[in-house]
């Protein structure tokens, strides 16, 4: 992903509210399936890691990206922005 495309996606993502929340149960299969469904529909998804989660945001970003077939656009605080692999090009 080039810098211009990344900047555009971050701009679009800043307008979004988190639609997937990860809590103390962590990355369940249900969470991964929900991310897949939302990325397929919206192309850009914001995921929020709740404070009671025992995982780090970087671990969640990497594993969620791998398991859901998405690309990590940005990680800020407890929020991960993911996009469809085709949108990343």
12-56, pLDDT tens digit by residue? 999 999 999 999 999 999 999 999 999 999 999 999 999 999 999
Model pTM greater than 0.85? yes
CATH architecture of 3-84: 2-Layer Sandwich (3.30)
Q: Closest Cα to residue 70, out of 39, 41, 48? A: 39
pLDDT in tens, 45-82: 999 999 999 999 999 999 999 999 999 999 999 999 99
* Structural domain boundaries in the chain: 3-84
- The half-sphere exposure of 31 on its side-chain side, counting CA atoms within 13 A, is 19
Cα–Cα distance, 82 to 13 (Å, whole number): 9
Angle at 20 between CA 83 and CA 49, to 5 degrees: 100
Whether the Cβ atoms of residue 1 and residue 89 lie closer than 8 Å to each other: yes
Element (H, E) at 55: none
């Amino acid at each position: 992903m080039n810098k211009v495309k990344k900047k555009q996606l971050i701009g679009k993502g800043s307008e979004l509210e988190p639609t997937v929340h990860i809590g103390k149960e962590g990355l369940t299969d249900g969470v991964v399936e929900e991310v897949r469904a939302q990325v397929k529909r919206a192309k850009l998804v914001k995921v929020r890691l709740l404070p009671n989660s025992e995982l780090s945001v970087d671990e969640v970003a990497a594993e969620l990206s791998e398991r859901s077939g998405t690309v990590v656009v940005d990680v800020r605080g407890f929020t991960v922005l993911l996009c469809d692999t085709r949108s990343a090009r």
